[in-house]
Amino acid sequence: MLTLYYAPGACSMAAHIVLEESGEKYEAKKVDLAGGEQRTEAYLKIHPLGRVPALRLDNGEPLTENTAILPYLGKRFDLWPKEAPAEAKALSVIGFFASSVHPAHAHVGRPERYTADTSAFPGIKDAGLKTFQGYLKQIDGMLADREWLSDQYSVLDPYGFVFYAWGVRRELPMAELKNYSAFKDRMLKRPAVARVAEDEKIKV
C-alpha cells in the first residue's frame, strides 16, 4: 500500500488529490511542518531534505519530489499521457511548476532560504510574490480554451490547483484570472478534490 506524507495546504495536496481520486486504498500521514516534524531524524530518513510530499512505495522505499511522484502516480492510475510528445509536454509543465512557480512562492514563505540578512526579507518576499503572480497569469494563459492542462484530466491538474490555492492564500486577485478560476471551479466539482480541499481546509 502507498503512504503519502503530506501537510495541509502544501504542494503535497496534488498527490493527495490523485491518491484520493484513484480509488486505491492508501495511507495519508500528516507531517506537522509548523512544529518542525520535517526536520526530525525519523522524517529525514523518509525525505532527506525535510519536505513534503514523500511517498512510501509498496516495497517500503520512499520516493520524493513532485516531479517524480506525480508521473509515478499518473502512470499507476492512468492519469498520465501515453504518447511520447504528450508525455514530454506534461513533463515540461511539471518542470515549470516545480522549478519556477513553486520556488517563486518559496521566496514569500521562506525568505530565510535565500539570505541570512533579515532586513532583505521584505524585498525578497515582494519580488517573489510579483514573480509568482506573473507565473499564475501564465498558467491562466495555458488554460485558454481548454478544460485541463493536458489534453485530458491528468496529474498536472491537481498540481495546478495547488498554486491557485496559494494565490488565494496570498490574497492575489485570482478572480481576474478567468480561465484559471473556471479551471478551479471544474476541479472543485470533482468529488475527490472537494474531499481533499475539505480535509486540508483549503479556501479557494
Ligand X SMILES: N[C@@H](CCC(=O)N[C@@H](CS)C(=O)NCC(=O)O)C(=O)O
Using CB under 6 A as the binding rule, whether residue 98 contacts ligand X is answered as yes
Options 88, 95, 110, 146; binder of ligand X; rule CB under 6 A: 110
Options 5, 6, 18, 66; binder of ligand X; rule CB under 6 A: 66
Using CB under 6 A as the binding rule, whether residue 130 contacts ligand X is answered as no
Using CB under 6 A as the binding rule, whether residue 111 contacts ligand X is answered as no
Q: From CA 64, how far away is CA 25, in angstroms rounded?
A: 20
Using CB under 6 A as the binding rule, whether residue 196 contacts ligand X is answered as no
Options 18, 52, 94, 143; binder of ligand X; rule CB under 6 A: 52
| Contacts for 69-74: CB closer than 8 Å, 24+ residues apart | 69/15, 70/14, 70/15, 70/18, 70/94, 70/155, 70/156, 70/159, 71/155, 73/15, 73/18, 73/19, 73/22, 73/155, 74/18, 74/154, 74/155
Site stretch for ligand X (CB under 6 A), options 19-27, 45-53, 71-79, 148-156 = 45-53
> Grid coordinates in use for 49?
531534505
Under the rule (CB under 6 A), what is the footprint of ligand X?
A: 10-11, 33, 38, 50-53, 65-66, 98, 102, 110
